[in-house]
Amino acid sequence: MMESKDRPAAIEPTLVLPASAAPEAPTKPAETPTEVPTRPERIPGEKEKESEPDIDEQIKRIIREIPDPTPQPGGE
């Protein structure tokens, strides 16, 4: 099979997989807090979080700057 030149070996990132939910046996896991899937603390290769102004302020800016909602044609 031909491989895409740009494709890495595996698509990343991934959610952390709890031991109880290994794909070999995707059964209902026990409901204990320790088995709750958690987000990786740092995704491999992920850039250091940029120093950004307060997100609430940025959201207010975005709401100010985007146009008002506009009726769209029905699609498909």
Q: Does 19 bind another protein (CB under 8 A)?
A: no
Residue 62 backbone dihedrals phi, psi, to 5 degrees: -60, -45
Whether a cis peptide bond, with omega within 30° of 0, leads into 26 is no
CB of 24 to another protein, least distance (A): 7
Q: Does 75 bind another protein (CB under 8 A)?
A: yes
Q: Would you say 26 and 20 are in contact if contact means Cβ atoms under 8 Å apart? A: no
Give me the residues that bind another protein (CB under 8 A), please: 1-18, 20-24, 26-29, 31, 33, 35-39, 43, 46-47, 49-50, 52, 55-56, 58-59, 62-63, 65-76
